[in-house]
Structure 1
C-alpha cells in the first residue's frame, strides 16, 4: 500500500492508470513478460523515496484452463542490503589500500634504513663504545619493526587467502550488485549501464571480481563530463583462452601519454575529479596476481574502454 494508491473502485481498470511510486517503472512490461513466458521474474527496483525493493513477479496459472492469466507480485525491502553493499565496498578499498601501504610504502623506507646503517658500520671510527652501543640498539629496534610489519602483512594475506575462495560466479549478478552499490551516483548523473555478455559465468574470487567491476564502473561515471549522461556498457567474451571483461564509457577520455601511467598508484586522468588515484592501481594489482592482463583504448572527449583478460 506504500507503493500503490489502491482503491476498490480500481478493479477492472488498466494497471497503467494506477498511480505508483517507482523510479523508471517497467513493471507493466515485466508483468506482460511473465504472462507470456510463464516464468518467475525477480529484479531490484527503486521507489521515489530512494528505497530499494526486491520485486518478485510470479505467474498466476489457471490449471483447468492450462494458461497464465495474471500475476502475483511481492515486494521485499532490500534498502539495508544496498547500504551494506556500499559500506562493504568502502571497507574492501580501505583494506586493499592498507595492505598496499604496508607492503610497499613502509617496507621500502626500512630497506633504505638498513642500507644507511650498513654504511655507518663501515665507517673507520669504530672505537667509541657509545657509538657501537647506539648502532646495536638501533639495529635491534629496526629488526623488531621489520618483524612486526612482516607478521602483519603475512597474517593479513593468510586471512585473505583463506577468505578469497575461487568459485563459479554469475557475472550478471556481480554487475547488478555493483549497480546497487552505485545507485546514488547513477541517479545523480542519470547514468545508464547496459551489458552484452557472450559468456555469463567464470571461475574467480567473487570479492576481487566485484572490486574490479566496481572501480571500473565507478571511474566511468566520475570521468564523464556533467554536460552528458554516462553511458556504460559491460561486455564479456572468450578470446585466446582468456575470459575478457570490457567496460566502455562515453567520458572525457585521456591522452596517449596518460594511458601509459594510469595504472600506477596515485595517478589520475584528470585532477578536476575527486579521488586518490588508487582504483585502477588496485584493478591492475588484482589482475596481475591472477596472471591476467589489462589494456586500455581511449580517445580524448570520446570515451575509454578498459579490457581485463582473465585466464579461463
Structure 2
C-alpha cells in the first residue's frame, strides 16, 4: 500500500475534526460557525442556520459566499487576523435580521502541530442590552429637553404675570379693576404651574422606554399657547388664524404644547417692523403623515441660514429677546418621536415651519 497523499491526510483530519465538533455543534442553542484556515465554512449550529438563513448547501462554501447573511463587512479581514495572530477578537455587530450580537472569533488551534486550523465564531445575543442602552440615551435626551423647555417656555407666562403686576400697581384706586387683575393673575399662575407640571412630567413608564402618548387636541393646545403668549399677542397686534383639518394626534402632550408654543412665540417675536404679525396655523393629513405648519409674514430667514437656526444657542437677530434654544428644542422633540421639521422662507417676507409627524402608527 502506498503512502497516503497530502490531500488524503488533510481529508482524514477534516473528518476527525467534524466528528469531534459534531456532537457539540448539534446540541448548542448558540449561533456558531466553524470556518477552516482556507476560509471554508465547515460547520454551523442549528441556531446559526436559523439566524443567518444558512442551509446544508452552504457547507463547503467559501465564507465570502455566505457572509452576505451576516451584516458585518469586515468579517473576512477579522477571521484572517485571528488565524494569523492566533488571538481572539470580540466585536458588537448587527445581523440582517436587525438583531445585535457580540461576535467572538476564537482561533481553533491544533495543539500537536501548534497550527491554527480555522476559527470558531460565536454570536451572543445582546439585543436587549443594546435596546436598554438606547432607551437610557433617549431618556437622557428627554431630561435635557425638559430642562431646556422649562427654562424657555415659562418666560411667556412670567412676562404675562409681570405685566399684570405692573397694571395692578396703577389700579389701586379701582376695586373692580383690582379684582379683575387679581383673577387674571391667578389664572396666569395656574397656567404657568400647569406648563411646568407638564414639562417636568417624567412618568415611571418612561424608565421602561415606552414613549407616553395620549390623544391630544390641536385646537386645545393652540389655545393654551395663545393664553401663555397673551401679552405678546396684544402688544404686537398679531392676527392668528387656524385651519385645522386634523384635530387630534397621538403624541406627548407636553411636547406638542412646547412645539406649538415655540413656533407661535417665534412668529410673533420675529415680526417685521412695518406690519403686525399675520400667523396661520394649519394641520393636514398627507399620506401616512400628519403635518402641522405655522406660517408668518415676519422677517424671514436667509436661505443659507435655514439649517443653522436649529442649532443650539443660534440667534440670527440679536436685538430680540431670546436664548436661541426654541427651534433646537422643537427639532429635537420631533426627531426623537420619528418625525422631522422643514422650513420655507424668503428674507423679508416671512417663514413657514412644517412639522411632519408620523400618522396612525405614531
TM-score bracket for the superposition, by shorter chain length: 0.5 to 0.7
The aligned counterpart of 1:292 is 339
Q: Find out whether 1:237 has 2:289 as its counterpart.
A: no
Partner of 2:302: 255
Say whether residues 1:219 and 2:325 are aligned partners.
no
> Partner residue of 1:161?
206
Partner of 2:186: 80
Q: Deviation at 1:266?
A: 0.8
- SS state at 1:275 partner: coil
Asked which structure has the greater CA Rg, the reply is 2
The aligned counterpart of 1:56 is none
* Contact 1:232–1:247 under 8 Å retained in 2: yes
Deviation (angstroms), 1:272: 2.0
Contact 1:253–1:303 (CA under 8 A) maintained in structure 2:
yes
C-alpha RMSD of the superposition: 3.0
Structure 1 counterpart of 2:352: 305
The 1:184/1:292 distance shift into structure 2, 3 A limit, reads same
Q: CA deviation at 1:84?
A: 2.8
CA contact (8 A) 1:171 1:200 kept: yes
Cα distance in 1 for partners of 2:268, 2:305 equals: 19
In the TM superposition, residue 78 of structure 1 has moved relative to its aligned partner by 6.2
Find runs of 4+ consecutive structure 1 residues off by over 6 angstroms.
47-50, 90-93
Tell me, yes or no, if the aligned pair for 2:218 and 2:248 is still in contact at 8 Å. Answer: yes
Contact 2:344 2:351 in 1 (8 A): yes
Match of 1:283 in 2: 330
Unpaired segments of 5 or more residues in structure 1?
Answer: 1-46, 54-76, 96-155
Structure 2 portions without partners, runs of 5+:
1-175
Q: CA deviation at 1:169?
A: 1.1
TM-score, with structure 1 as normaliser:
0.53
Q: What is the aligned length?
A: 182
TM alignment of 1:166-181, pairs within 5 A: 166-181=213-228
SS of the residue corresponding to residue 309 of structure 2 reads: coil
Q: What TM-score do the two structures reach when normalised by structure 2?
A: 0.46
Please tell me whether the aligned partners of residues 86 and 182 of structure 1 are also in contact (alpha carbons under 8 angstroms): no
Shift of 1:170: 1.1
Give 1:28-67 correspondences, 5 Å limit: none
- Distance in 2 of aligned mates of 1:301 and 1:223: 11
